[in-house]
Each structure stands twice: as C-alpha cells, then as structure tokens.
C-alpha cells in the first residue's frame, strides 16, 4: 500500500469509527504485506579493510529543504520552531524521540523555574512570549498546572502528558514540519557555513538542507559537529520518577517521597545523581541501570512503611537527566558575576526571572550567548548556550530555555529573511520582532 493510500485509509477508518484507532488487537488486524517496499537507505554496507571497519563513500538523500532547521524538540527547540514559523519562514523540527518537551516532559522535570521576579508586593512575571502562551494553555486544562498564577507562592509546575500534547498541537497549528524518531548525527558544511544536518532513523540516513540551524539538542550536538568551539562539562546526572497513591503522606524522614504535582495523589521525585559525562555512552548506560535500580530500592523502603505502603511507582522518566554536557564558546559568555551585578546588555533578547543563587536580580540574556564565534548559520538555544560554569546552572533552567529558544528562532528567521549571517543580524530589528512576539526585554 502506498503511503498516501495508507493515510487515506487510516483517516477513513478513524472518521467512520469502524476499525478505529482504538479497535482491539486480534488475528483480523494482521496488517498487510508491502510488495513494493523501497529498501531502507543506508548508503552502502561498511566493510573490513586491514582490520578496520570502513564506511563507503555515499550520497545522502535530501528529504527536506527548509529555511530554519531546529535540532531537538525540548522546551527550547519547540519555542524556537514556533518563533521562527510565526516570523514567516519554513521550519523543520527534528527530534530523536517520539514526543516534545525534552527534559521538561520525557525527563519528568516538572517545575518551570526562573519565570518571575519577587517584589514586596508579590511576584511579577518576567517570561512572557510564546513560552508563557504555552504555560497559559497548559493551565487551562484540568490538572495542567499548579502555582501558575502570579499570586502563587512559587513558579509553575506542569503535567508532562498535557504539556507534550499541547506542544504538538501548537506546532501543528503553526505548520511546523516535524520529523520525530530522527537522530541528528552530523552537520552538512560548506567551509565554515552550516548548510543542514544529517540524521538517522528507521528509514535510514537522510539530510535536511537549511539556511540556518538552531541547535536545541541540549548537548550542542549540531554546533559541535559543525566545528563551533564549545566547553565540555561533567555535571550531575539523575533520573526522575513519579509516585502514585500518595494519600496523606507528605514527608517522612529517610523516605524519598518527592513533591506534589498537578495530579492529586501523584508526586514527582527529583534525583541529583552522581557527576558524569553526559556524552559518554558507557556512562549513560551505567547511570540508567544504576538509577532504575535505586528507584526500586527507594520504592521498597517506601512500601515497607505503614503510612506509605500503598504508594506505587507511576513512571520513570524516559529521558535520562543530563544537566549539562556542552556549552557554546559564544560571542558572549554569560557569567554569574555579571548577573549578580545586574548587567544590562545592548543585545538583550530576553529577561529571565530570579532563582536561588541569582538572588533577586532578573537576568538579561544577550544575543551573543547564542552565537558561535566562527561558524556561520547556526545558533544555540536552551541549556547549551554560552554561560560560565556557574551561570549555566541558571541558563539551563526551563524558564531561561524558553527565552533562548524564542530568541534563536526569531533571529534565525530574520537571518533568512534579510539574507544575513546570524552574527550580523540587526539587533534593533531582532528586538522589535521579539517585542511583537510579546517578549519582555526589560
């Protein structure tokens, strides 16, 4: 069956209600054999020569030609895609997993921190723009958020499944071209100009050609592949989980019961975890195995307590909690010192709310923190932007990631429309665009 016919048949089945999405599985739903299936494109089989495994030279099919390619659909990437699309350019978003939100959702990191500043009269929202529009949509859904209003005692906390679903709605409403289950493995280069990216999927190896790329992979995978200078970090890696049936239990000494979520009786449990290299596959494997074991051991202790014996493990994050791996060596490296001094930047593209070690200083985010020094046509967004070893504990929070996502998306669109290198984008025009997109610039 051709793809077009398959989609038609599926839509007809869904609309008619017969053989619908929810039909029970059974022997009569065995599917069909594809007679004219195209072979999966791998570009030739690696072979052994002189004891080494050699990848043959291959042509890589281009399956998309776009204006802005966003790598990674975490909180930063999805906001970047929406910002660029709303600015009027074609956008393709490539994500390695099957849902959006990254650590915020698949990582079960639910508190959206650094969105407000505090005043004696109460909290004042700093993060507006598309990030807040998304939060407001999540808030409207039953059990979507807690602490969303400005009068709440702390920053908002969201439900992960509602968040995933509403992000997908927004991306589809705006016409963002989406590729899920697609893992970006390399950059396409012409000298120091990025021209797109290569990704692997169940369909094989393909390329997306683009005018500008926003690297929102969290790990700077694309800008590193492109040769942009960056700083490698060892940081704590944890695995978050949720507990159900909490009853009246709040905190019991020695038990990891976590904190409440928008769903009654459900808590999320953060894990600091040991320090590790989030770019080392052996480390990631070890941590995933150890952390899952530790979560079960913790649950056994909880269930051995009379007060909490009926608590159960609701779920474990499907994305391991890598806090930091690479940050860009950008045109401007944000520093804790300048944040504490309340530094103002001429190229401000967003103002983040306050957080413990930032004291009560809203933080101006400069465009320079998103821009590589030497490589062209690529911008960083989210936890991999340029910040020193202390400040990246702020820039990696979800609030600031929403801001750098929007700034990168808007700047990428502007660079395409004005045929300008991202490094030379007009700052007044970028700031004007961001203001029209409801971003607060101070």
List of residues contacting ligand FAD (CB under 6 A): 71-77, 94-97, 102-104, 107, 109, 111-113, 183-184, 216-219, 221, 238, 240, 270, 321, 323, 382-383, 396-399, 401
DSSP 11-68: HHHHHH-TT-TTPPP-GGG-----SSPPPPB-SS--EEETTEEEPPP----EEEEEEE
Least CB distance to ligand FAD at residue 277 (A): 14
Residue closer to ligand FAD (CB basis): 160 or 238: 238
CB of 283 to ligand FAD, least distance (A): 14
CA 65 to CA 208: how far, in whole Å?
A: 6
Q: Are strands 235-238 and 275-276 parallel, antiparallel or unpaired?
A: antiparallel
* Dihedral class, residue 158 (left if φ above 0, else alpha if ψ from -120 to 50, else beta): beta
How many angstroms separate the CA atoms of 47 and 57, rounded? Answer: 12
Report the residue number, 216 or 407, with the smaller CB distance to ligand FAD: 216
Based on CB atoms, which residue is closest to ligand FAD, 97 or 367? 97
Q: Which are the contacts of 383, defined by CB distance < 8 A and separation ≥ 6?
A: 76, 218, 323, 324, 327, 392, 395, 396, 401
- The least distance separating ligand FAD from the CB of residue 286, rounded to whole angstroms, comes to 16
Smallest distance, ligand FAD to C-beta of residue 27, A:
36
**Cα Rg, the chain, nearest whole Å:** 23
Q: Which is nearer to ligand FAD, 327 or 431 (CB)?
A: 327
Report the residue number, 138 or 397, with the smaller CB distance to ligand FAD. 397
The Cα-based distances of 384 to 87, 98, 352, 402 in angstroms read 23, 21, 16, 13
Q: How far is the CB of 326 from ligand FAD (least distance, A)?
A: 11
Task: Give the residue with the Cβ less far from ligand FAD, 1 or 316.
Answer: 316
Question: Rounded to the nearest whole angstrom, what is the least distance from the CB of residue 150 to ligand FAD in the complex?
Answer: 17
Name the minimum Å distance from CB 204 to ligand FAD: 15
Cα distances (angstroms) measured from residue 334 to each of 222, 300, 317: 21, 43, 30
Task: Report the distance separating Cα 401 and Cα 288, nearest Å.
Answer: 25
Q: Which residue, 75 or 243, is less far from ligand FAD as judged by CB?
A: 75
- By beta-carbon proximity to ligand FAD, the closer residue of 116 and 323 is 323
Contacts of 138 (CB under 8 A, 6+ apart): 144, 145, 148, 158, 159, 162, 163, 166
Give the integer Cα–Cα distance in Å for 99 and 161. 9
- Least Å distance, CB 222 to ligand FAD, is 7
Q: Give the nearer residue to ligand FAD in terms of CB position, either 106 or 331.
A: 106
Cβ at position 408, least distance to ligand FAD in Å? 11
378: left (phi over 0), alpha (psi -120 to 50) or beta: beta
Q: What is the rounded distance in angstroms from the CA atom of residue 329 to the CA atom of residue 211?
A: 22
């Amino acid at each position: 069956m051709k793809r077009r016919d398959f989609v038609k048949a599926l839509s007809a089945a869904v609309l008619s209600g017969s053989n619908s999405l929810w039909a029970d599985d059974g022997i009569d739903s065995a599917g069909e054999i594809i007679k004219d299936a195209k072979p999966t494109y791998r570009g030739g089989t690696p072979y052994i020569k002189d004891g080494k495994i050699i990848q043959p030279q291959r042509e890589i099919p281009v399956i998309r030609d776009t204006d802005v390619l966003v790598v990674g659909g975490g909180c930063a990437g999805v906001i970047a895609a929406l910002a660029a699309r709303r600015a009027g350019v074609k956008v393709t978003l490539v994500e390695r997993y099957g849902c959006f939100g990254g650590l915020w959702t698949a990582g079960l990191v639910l508190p959206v921190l650094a969105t407000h500043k505090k005043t004696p009269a109460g909290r004042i929202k700093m993060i507006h723009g598309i990030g807040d529009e998304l939060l407001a949509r999540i808030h409207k859904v039953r059990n979507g958020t807690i602490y969303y209003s400005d009068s709440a005692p702390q920053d908002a906390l969201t439900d992960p499944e509602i968040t995933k679903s509403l992000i997908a709605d927004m991306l589809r409403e705006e016409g963002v071209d989406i590729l899920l289950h697609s893992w970006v493995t390399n950059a396409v280069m012409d000298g120091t100009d990025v021209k797109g990216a290569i990704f692997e999927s169940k369909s094989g190896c393909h390329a997306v050609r683009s005018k500008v790329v926003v690297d929102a992979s969290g790990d700077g995978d694309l800008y590193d592949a492109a040769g942009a200078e960056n700083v490698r970090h060892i940081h704590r890696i944890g695995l978050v989980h949720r507990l159900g049936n909490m009853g009246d239990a709040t905190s019991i000494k020695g038990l990891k019961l976590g904190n409440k979520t928008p769903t009654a009786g459900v808590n999320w449990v953060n894990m600091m975890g040991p320090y590790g290299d989030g770019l080392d596959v052996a480390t990631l494997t070890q941590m995933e195995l150890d952390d899952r074991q530790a979560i079960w051991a913790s649950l056994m202790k909880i269930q051995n307590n009379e007060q909490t014996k009926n608590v159960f493990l609701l779920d474990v994050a499907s994305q391991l909690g890598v806090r930091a791996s690479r940050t860009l060596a950008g045109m401007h490296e944000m520093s804790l010192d300048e944040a504490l001094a309340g530094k103002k930047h001429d190229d401000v593209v967003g103002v983040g709310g306050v957080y413990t070690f930032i004291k009560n200083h809203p933080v101006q985010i400069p465009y320079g923190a998103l821009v590589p020094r030497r490589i062209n046509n690529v911008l960083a967004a989210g936890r991999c932007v340029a910040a020193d070893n202390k400040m990246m504990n702020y820039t990696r929070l979800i609030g600031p990631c929403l801001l750098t996502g929007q700034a990168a998306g808007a700047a990428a669109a502007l660079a395409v429309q004005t045929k300008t290198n991202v490094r030379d984008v007009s700052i007044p025009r970028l700031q004007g665009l961001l203001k029209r997109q409801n971003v607060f610039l101070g």
